[in-house]
Amino acid sequence: MVAMDGMPPYQGRTIDICPQGLSLHFDHKLNPGQTGQMMYEIFIDGKAQVLTCRCKVSHCIFSGDQFKIGFQFVNPDAAVTAAIAKYMR
């Protein structure tokens, strides 16, 4: 889920993740540079972990009937960074 500053929260579907950010399929267009709060769930060792982080839109591409939006993490805390690193192993 993503709550961009000044907008209601929206659900997206994660398609890609890396230590610097992630990409979502989204029903709504967002503009590069927009900032907000992101909350996402990843499974590590079979257990769900919910992570939250500030984010910034890096790109927005119309793809089929949805938008593919890239988000860059903004100053993720150590817990978020460690969880993503462990998830990617």
Query: What's the CATH code of the domain at 25?
Result: 2.40.10.220
Q: Which tens digit of pLDDT belongs to each residue from 58-68?
A: 999 998 889 99
Q: How many angstroms from the chain centroid is the CA of residue 3?
A: 10
Global pTM value: 0.88
Does residue 88 have a pLDDT over 90? no
Does residue 12 have a pLDDT over 90? no
3-state secondary structure of 27: coil
Q: How far apart are CA 76 and CA 2, in angstroms?
A: 15
The number of CA neighbours under 13 Å toward the Cβ of 80 is 20
Count structural domains, the chain.
Answer: 1
Domain extent, residue 41, equals 2-88
Q: Which tens digit of pLDDT belongs to each residue from 37-74?
A: 999 899 999 999 999 999 999 999 998 889 999 999 99
Does residue 75 have a pLDDT over 90? yes
